[in-house]
């Protein structure tokens, strides 16, 4: 069947929608190269703000913290989430539906509520706030997302391939590493990437669970723009946008290579 071309009208509307989404971002990127300090008028091209950014010790620390939290919480959430997804796929037990729905509640409830509850919890067990509490919180809100993504991937997983592996002489452990994991790997990586992205730009939950000296990039940016948006923040945001964009591309490629 021949594909129908969209009408002129439809194309125009689409263009407007894209413009609506992307113009603010483009302006932000453009002004990150602007010699003027105020985001009002274009004066000339400079890389000065990037230089300022790279020499800012606070930003450096915040970046280090953010990456540390994101990487650690992604690894932990991916392992736990994948195991949970496999268990939900494989076993039926009393209370299955309850446990299944309970897993997704953190996705639905407002982040503020989650942040407050975590703060209250850490206070209750008298755990001092810092990098560790942020990481633990990120792990907890990332698990449901990993489970969601991996389960979607497991849907239609042919469990006879695991039986085939055992039939051919593999025990449970070899079967998992050589057959199950490689088969679901694209889903696991997608889940991990999602967790990483969510952790990277989380503000609300991090705000509630951060302590002194554990500032992350989103927290830092918010404190920088409290009065006005500076070109330095524009530069930081630009780098950020590109990082996320590249990760999305990788995710796209991963998903495509497996359909």
Partner 1 sequence: MSEFAVELRDVVKIFPTPEGGEITAVNHINMQIKHGEFFSMLGPSGCGKTTTLRMIAGFEWPTSGEVRIDGHVIGRTPPYLRPVNTVFQSYALFQHMTVFQNVAFGLEMERIRKDEIKRRVGEVLEMVKLGGMEHRKPQQLSGGQQQRVALARALVKRPKVLLLDEPLGALDLKLRKEMQLELKTLQEQVGITFIYVTHDQEEALIMSDRIAVMNRGKALQIGTPVEIYERPTSQFVADFIGETNFLYGTVRFVEADKASVYVPVLDSEVIGLATAGLTVGQKAVISIRPEKIRISDKPILTKNCFSARVTLIAYIGSDTRVSVDINGQRINIWEQNKISSLDTNIYYRENQEVWITLFPENTLVLPEE
Interface residues with partner 1 (CB under 8 A) are 92, 158, 160-161, 163-171, 174, 178-179, 182-183, 185
CB of residue 238 vs partner 1: minimum separation in angstroms? 38
Query: What is the C-alpha to C-alpha distance for residues 162 and 201, in angstroms, rounded to an integer?
Result: 38
CB of residue 169 vs partner 1: minimum separation in angstroms? 3
Query: What is the C-alpha to C-alpha distance for residues 219 and 66, in angstroms, rounded to an integer?
Result: 10
Q: Which is nearer to partner 1, 51 or 163 (CB)?
A: 163
CB of residue 36 vs partner 1: minimum separation in angstroms? 54
Using the structure block, give the residue that is written with the tokens 């913290």. 65
Query: What is the C-alpha to C-alpha distance for residues 202 and 208, in angstroms, rounded to an integer?
Result: 11
H helix intervals, the chain: 8-31, 48-55, 57-90, 96-108, 111-124, 131-154, 160-167, 172-175, 181-200, 204-209, 217-224, 231-256
CB of residue 103 vs partner 1: minimum separation in angstroms? 21
Query: What is the C-alpha to C-alpha distance for residues 63 and 193, in angstroms, rounded to an integer?
Result: 18
CB of residue 165 vs partner 1: minimum separation in angstroms? 7
Q: Which is nearer to partner 1, 52 or 170 (CB)?
A: 170
CB of residue 162 vs partner 1: minimum separation in angstroms? 9
Q: Which is nearer to partner 1, 60 or 182 (CB)?
A: 182
Q: Which is nearer to partner 1, 64 or 159 (CB)?
A: 159
CB of residue 116 vs partner 1: minimum separation in angstroms? 40
Contact 217, 62 (CB under 8 A): yes
Query: What is the C-alpha to C-alpha distance for residues 247 and 207, in angstroms, rounded to an integer?
Result: 25
Q: Which is nearer to partner 1, 126 or 160 (CB)?
A: 160
Left if phi > 0, otherwise alpha if psi is -120 to 50, otherwise beta: which for 34? beta
CA 31 to chain centre: 26
The pair of three-digit structure tokens given for residue 16, joined into one six-digit string: 């407007």
Left if phi > 0, otherwise alpha if psi is -120 to 50, otherwise beta: which for 126? left
Q: Which is nearer to partner 1, 42 or 177 (CB)?
A: 177
Helix axes 131-154, 181-200, angle to 10 degrees: 140
Q: Which is nearer to partner 1, 170 or 247 (CB)?
A: 170
């Amino acid at each position: 069947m021949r594909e129908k071309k969209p009408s002129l009208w439809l194309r125009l509307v689409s263009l407007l929608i894209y413009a609506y989404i992307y113009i603010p971002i483009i302006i932000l990127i453009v002004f990150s190269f602007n010699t003027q300090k105020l985001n009002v008028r274009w004066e000339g091209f400079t890389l000065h703000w990037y230089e300022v950014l790279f020499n800012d010790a606070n930003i450096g620390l915040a970046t280090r913290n953010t990456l540390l939290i994101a990487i650690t919480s992604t690894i932990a959430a991916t392992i736990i989430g994948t195991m949970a997804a496999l268990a939900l796929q494989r076993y039926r037990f009393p209370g299955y539906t309850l446990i299944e729905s309970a897993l997704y509640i953190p996705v639905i409830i407002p982040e503020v509520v989650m942040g407050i509850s975590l703060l209250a919890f850490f206070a209750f067990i008298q755990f001092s706030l810092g990098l560790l509490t942020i990481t633990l919180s990120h792990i907890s809100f990332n698990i449901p997302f990993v489970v969601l993504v991996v389960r979607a991937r497991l849907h239609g997983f042919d469990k006879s391939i695991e039986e085939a592996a055992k039939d051919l002489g593999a025990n449970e452990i070899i079967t998992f590493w050589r057959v199950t994991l490689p088969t679901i790997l694209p889903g696991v990586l997608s889940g991990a990437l999602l967790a990483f992205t969510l952790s990277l730009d989380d503000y609300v939950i991090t705000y509630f669970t951060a302590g002194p000296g554990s500032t992350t990039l989103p927290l830092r940016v918010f404190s920088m723009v409290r009065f006005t948006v500076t070109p330095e923040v524009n530069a930081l945001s630009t780098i950020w946008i590109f990082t996320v964009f590249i990760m999305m591309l990788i995710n796209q490629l991963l998903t495509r290579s497996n359909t």
